[in-house]
Amino acid sequence: MHELVEAMANMKEKDALRIVEEMLERGEDPNQILALTSEAMGVVGERYQDGTYFLPELIMSGEMLKKIGEVLKPHLATQTDQAAKLGTVVLGTVRGDIHDIGKDIVGFMLEVNGFEVIDIGIDQPEAKFVEAVKAHHPQVLALSGFLSVAFDSMKSTVQEVEAAGLRKNLKIIIGGGQMDETVRAYTGADAFGDDAMAAVAFAKKTVGVH
């Protein structure tokens, strides 16, 4: 296992930040470093699912990811800052779910790939998603949820967006937990994503960028 993945997965924040700085000093590709942080978050997620880790570890790893993200952003953003934004994505964790690690990773990956991200937070009711779509006119709405109870909230959020007449020029993707085609069909979303890069690929396809 790469030492950065190991440090992050074991909640060693100082070590992880030091390793990131050292990798950047050696001239390693920041996108590769980003891929390693995503891998580490996958390990944390697995440990949470099998009962090794609990909510405090999820929160800690999310904070660690944010700090590493701040270090990496200047190295990743040189191209995206100068270019016009590819599009806008409204992102949030649905009602009844407070998990935000996956959401934060998706938001970060979308930003460094040139999207404006409107993150409305966790445990958000359907009306908040409708308000955000009305206010920001995104091309993509990304609904996050880790727990199976989130499926019903995702479905009702999609229904509320449709009822408000906002679905016509909007693509909706779901992700965060055990997503598959059955869940996608149940919620009425356009797609599901297994990881952050799936969300980026979907957003790029939606705005016509490959």
Determine what percent of the chain is predicted with pLDDT higher than 70.
95
The answer to whether residues 40 and 126 belong to one domain is no
Residue 84 has pLDDT above 80, yes or no: no
Residue 46 CB partners (closer than 8 Å, separation 6+): none
Coil, strand or helix: which one is 161?
A: helix
Q: Pick the closest to residue 16 from 81, 96, 24 (CA basis).
A: 24
The answer to whether residues 201 and 107 belong to one domain is yes
> Which of 48, 66, 82 is a domain's end point?
82
Per the structure, how many domains does the chain have?
2
The answer to whether residues 55 and 103 belong to one domain is no
The answer to whether residues 22 and 49 belong to one domain is yes
CATH of the domain at 8: 1.10.1240.10
Determine what percent of the chain is predicted with pLDDT higher than 90.
57
Q: What is the pLDDT of residues 41-63, one digit of tens each?
A: 878 878 887 899 987 887 888 88
> Which of 23, 49, 82 is a domain's end point?
82
- What is the residue range of 44's domain? 3-82
The answer to whether residues 161 and 137 belong to one domain is yes
The answer to whether residues 92 and 192 belong to one domain is yes
- Residue 103's pLDDT band, with cuts at 50, 70 and 90, is confident
Higher pLDDT, 144 or 66: 144
The answer to whether residues 22 and 108 belong to one domain is no
Residue 83 has pLDDT above 60, yes or no: no
- Contact yes or no for 62/121 (Cβ under 8 A): no
The answer to whether residues 150 and 193 belong to one domain is yes
Instruction: Report long-range pairs for 1-9 (Cβ below 8 Å, ≥24 apart).
Output: 2/36, 2/39, 4/33, 4/36, 4/37, 4/40, 5/36, 5/39, 5/40, 5/43, 7/40, 8/37, 8/40, 8/41, 8/43, 8/44, 8/61, 8/64, 8/65, 8/68, 9/40, 9/43, 9/44, 9/47
The answer to whether residues 176 and 202 belong to one domain is yes
The answer to whether residues 94 and 195 belong to one domain is yes
The answer to whether residues 165 and 192 belong to one domain is yes
Weakest mean pLDDT among 17-21, 45-49, 69-73, 128-132: 45-49
pLDDT at residue 114 in the model: 85
pLDDT at residue 82 in the model: 47
Coil, strand or helix: which one is 33?
A: helix
What is the mean pLDDT of the segment spanning 128-138? 97
The answer to whether residues 72 and 96 belong to one domain is no
